[in-house]
Structure 1
Amino acid sequence: MSPERKKLLNIIILGFGFMFMFTAFQTCGNIEQTVIRSFNSTEFHGSGYTSMAIIYGVFSASNLIAPSVVTVIGPQLSMFFSGLVYSGYIAMFIHPYTWSFYTASVLVGIAAAVLWTAQGNVLAINSTDNTIGRNSGIFWSLLQFSLFFGNLYIYLAWHGHVHITDKDRQTVFISLTVISLVGCFLFFLIRKPDPESSPSPEVTESLLPSEYMESSTASSSSGSSLWSQALDAFVKACKMFVTKEMLLLSISIGYTGLELTFYSGVYGTCIGAMTRFGTDAKSLIGISGICIGLGEIIGGGVFGILNKNNRFGRNPVVLLGLITHFVAFYLIFLNVASDAPLAPEAGTDLEAYIAPSVWLALFCSFLLGLGDSCFNTQLLSIVGFIFRDNSAPAFAVFKFIQSITAAVAFFYSNYLLLHWQLLILVIVGFLGSISFFVADWVAESSKRDSDYHSI
């Protein structure tokens, strides 16, 4: 197999591993607030929004140490052990307790930082300047199939259910736990790229397959050397955070954290709370997730796979994402009751400004997914393009910014009505897009200058 095909196969395996894991976890996040509202037990007092705020808050802080962990144990084992923690969080819902719920939230926050830093590392190792856009699109499309399969299962399992019983909950979460574990073990199929085609020999060594790990460890430098590398990775992450390019990108990265919270946790809860959508409102959460997934898949395919070598540039794609999201936010404002995010299990009988339409709500779900894919594929591309030689700390900073804004958004989702949440998204989305355009111009100018001086 040629070096390029081996790298492409690694990207595809990476995408399938994340697809299985996040089929379970994203579905869990989409339904957990609705499930919690249906608990009969008076001993459980958790909140899905609070849990997600904890996850993303811890995620944010843990991103500062994640490059060190990936440096010490390598991206392959980092993704595997992180995936086991994700599976444990999902399994907790089979027999939930308040203490285990919030403890698992903290652990998932730590695991998420390691998982996504390792993912960015593997993506960069297996990409070149010419293939980073394509590979980002392939990975993103495969990842977002998770929304399709998981939410289709929720729709079929809960169709016609006004109340979610304990048996309904246990059946769903046992299935999701098994699916998540399948994704964990897929990471062991990722293989080391050929050294001569690898952009960074130091980082490539950390991607050795499991059968090479023992001999590699035996012949490696002492433990103190490993810790020295870990400290160096931490210092690099801190320095990278204050670079001109990362500061410019931070607003657009922060926006993806806010809208991630909205489409993955808040909007599905809103749909499930709209009693005017009929008795199938709860199962519509699953259909909404499928529509979001379709938007993500189409966006990832069109703007990632087909846009080879950045032929059309990144800025037009981000502008399309901004317009798509603005249309979605306006239609949601007209269609969904303002108190829907905070409604009790019985739901809300209020209307917004038009007669509630199920089809319009699902169309907005599609637009949310399409716009999100525009932003994320281009952010993955530009971060991998600018910081390819230091990919682990760069993606750690990326996730640090994204997760801290997601934590803030999940926190205020406990208190703010829908129209205030939409207003925040509009303002930050506009500012984030402008900052992205400037960052892309700076990155391309730097590359042109570098190419000119190398002649």
Structure 2
Amino acid sequence: MTRPSETPPVTQSTGLNTGRPIVTSSLLPRARRRKTYWKNLFVLSLAFFFVFTAYMSIQNLQSSLNTEEDLGVISLTIVYGSVVFSCIFIAPILIRKFGTKWTMAGSIVMYSVYTACNYYPTYGTLIPSSFLIGLAAAPLWTAQGTYLTTSAISLADLTNEVPETLLNRFNGIFFVIFQSNQVVGNLISSLVLQQTNETSPNNTDHCGRCSCNEASPNSTGDSRQPDKSLVNTLLTVYLVLGIIGLLLVVFFLDTLPTFQSSRMDRRECMQKWMETLGILRNPILVLLVPLMMYSGIEQAFVAGDFTKAYVTCAKGVEWVGYVMICYGGADAVSSYLLGRLEKYTGRLILFSLGGLVQMILIVTMYLWHPKADDDVWKFMLIAAGWGFGDAVWQTQICSIVGVLFPDKQESAFANFRLWQSLGFSVAFACSIPNNVYIYHKLFGFGGWLVMSMIAYYTVEIIVRRTKPGYFEVKVMEPDAIG
């Protein structure tokens, strides 16, 4: 691997953006510089943990709590539909103008606004806030992917390590902390909502694969909805957690190096938009698009359909949190292990294992008809297996995008979140019509998974046959990203 003879200076921030970068990488001892990269990794991971402890828990409950006129599902559809627009027109511009740190800080504010609007969920409050959080999500995740990849490559250059190995380790650590939000957030929701008054079991004839939107009022049971005071208590806890995540980013996360002007004229804006769209001319990225979309579809299914049609329908909404704890726990642990295993197994084996596990679970959910007297461990086992598959997609897609497109990180990660969000939006939108059953969705995204894996294997064949150095990871120049 070719490396420059001298590491470019890296600027560090003292926490607040004073507008005056402090050059430290060439002045501080190597050990201290190395600790700075690790410190930023943990600060970033903890910030996302707190923010998404709130958001993901609310997302898991939307289809079960806000059932009137499908408000919860429509809200989630709008969230991820607006992300598609944001990925193309907003994310690259904000990162270029404000840098990764302040783009993430501003985006987190929108997540707190969305949490607050759930105190009074109506079309007048939840729909506009859903649109705002969708606009914020793409800049947030594009900035996160860029920040993490740039930090990992810079640290690899400092320590003479292989960038791909260190990037996998960074992604593994980030996602094990990040995915722990599912454990903590759902534990909080379960402890609060378990105070819901017990009622007789629901009619489970329409649970599982036979569930559809038309049957949901009878299958979920309005009598088992938690008290409004309990929901408000839950939202207050989540709002506080979101604010903590914002404070971590603002005061403790260093700013990545930037030497470019923050002013962007219309021509530069058009150039950034064209870069985001123009990267789709790369056949490698096009072949990864189905897998990117699937990573959104499978997350939407477990958050919207599995929690409602299987868990809430058969066991009650108070069990959603406990079941999703298994999903988040398996996701978090698997993320950490995958980050370390990749250098021994290679990403091909991990991708294949993730696809195999989720395909087995798709078949299982098609054959299984859940009932009120079923043991809870059955629901938890499916959730845990699904969490493992999700960990594969999240860690390995981030890694392969960072490795194959090191000089176009903003555009590549923006496209990843664009197609992933499109998958989210399509999956949630399919829950709105009355005549769409769960087995329709299982057939649909099961076939999409097969197509996605075929496209991914094609990518591996192309990469392995390409001349050496074509996909070589290059060290980022300091003015490459803000």
* TM-score interval, smaller chain: 0.7 to 0.9
Matched residue SS, 1:191: coil
1:191 and 2:215 are equivalent in the alignment: no
* Alignment correspondent of 1:223: 263
Q: Are 2:112 and 2:242, in contact at CA under 8 Å, matched by a contact in 1?
A: yes
* Alignment correspondent of 1:342: none
* Alignment correspondent of 2:95: 70
Structure 1: which 5+ runs fail to align?
38-43, 194-203, 206-215, 338-349
* Alignment correspondent of 2:42: 12
* Alignment correspondent of 1:48: 72
* Alignment correspondent of 1:200: none
TM-score, length of structure 2 as denominator length: 0.79
* Alignment correspondent of 1:390: 408
1:307 and 2:341 are equivalent in the alignment: yes
CA distance in 1, matches of 2:309, 2:467: 45
Paired letter, 1:401? W
* Alignment correspondent of 1:121: 146
CA distance in 2, matches of 1:71, 1:231: 12
Q: Deviations over 1:183-230 (max 9, x none)?
A: 11211322246xxxxxxxxxx31xxxxxxxxxx7xxx647346x5544
* Alignment correspondent of 2:392: 374
CA distance in 1, matches of 2:119, 2:253: 31
Paired letter, 1:327? I
* Alignment correspondent of 2:450: 430
* Alignment correspondent of 1:332: 365
CA distance in 2, matches of 1:298, 1:14: 18
Query: What's the C-alpha RMSD, in Å, of the aligned pairs?
Result: 2.2
Which deviates more from structure 2 when the two are superposed, residues 9-18 or residues 381-390? 9-18
Which deviates more from structure 2 when the two are superposed, residues 143-152 or residues 118-127? 118-127
Which deviates more from structure 2 when the two are superposed, residues 77-86 or residues 261-270? 261-270
Question: What are the within-5 Å matches in structure 2 for residues 140-219 of structure 1?
Answer: 140-159=175-194, 161=196, 162-188=224-250, 189-192=252-255, 204-205=257-258
Equivalent position to 2:324, from 282, 289, 297: 289
Equivalent position to 1:238, from 244, 262, 277: 277
Tell me the CA shift for residue 362 of structure 1: 1.1
Question: What are the within-5 Å matches in structure 2 for residues 344-423 of structure 1?
Answer: 356-415=374-433, 416-423=436-443
Q: Are 1:52 and 1:410, in contact at CA under 8 Å, matched by a contact in 2?
A: yes
CA distance in 1, matches of 2:402, 2:118: 36
CA distance in 2, matches of 1:25, 1:450: 40
Q: Deviations over 1:403-452 (max 9, x none)?
A: 11210110002232111111112111111112112223333444724499
* Alignment correspondent of 1:101: 126
Matched residue SS, 2:254: coil
Distance change in 2, residues 1:259/1:222 (3 Å): closer
* Alignment correspondent of 1:41: none
Paired letter, 1:111? A
Equivalent position to 2:313, from 263, 267, 274: 274
CA distance in 2, matches of 1:139, 1:436: 24
Q: Are 1:236 and 1:393, in contact at CA under 8 Å, matched by a contact in 2?
A: yes
Q: Deviations over 1:42-79 (max 9, x none)?
A: xx755211111111111011100211111011111111
Structure 2: which 5+ runs fail to align?
1-30, 154-162, 197-223, 475-482
* Alignment correspondent of 1:210: none
Distance change in 2, residues 1:439/1:414 (3 Å): same
* Alignment correspondent of 1:251: 290
* Alignment correspondent of 1:344: none
Q: Are 1:314 and 1:440, in contact at CA under 8 Å, matched by a contact in 2?
A: no
Distance change in 2, residues 1:192/1:87 (3 Å): closer
* Alignment correspondent of 1:136: 171
Tell me the CA shift for residue 321 of structure 1: 0.5
* Alignment correspondent of 1:58: 82
Distance change in 2, residues 1:78/1:315 (3 Å): same
Tell me the CA shift for residue 273 of structure 1: 3.2
Paired letter, 1:223? R
CA distance in 1, matches of 2:147, 2:471: 26
Q: Deviations over 1:237-285 (max 9, x none)?
A: 111122111001001111111101111222111234324x3xxx22210
**The structure with more helix, counted as a fraction of residues:** 1
CA distance in 2, matches of 1:117, 1:229: 19
Equivalent position to 2:65, from 12, 15, 35: 35
TM-score, length of structure 1 as denominator length: 0.83
CA distance in 2, matches of 1:444, 1:245: 12
Q: Are 2:405 and 2:412, in contact at CA under 8 Å, matched by a contact in 1?
A: yes
Paired letter, 1:59? V
CA distance in 2, matches of 1:269, 1:74: 39
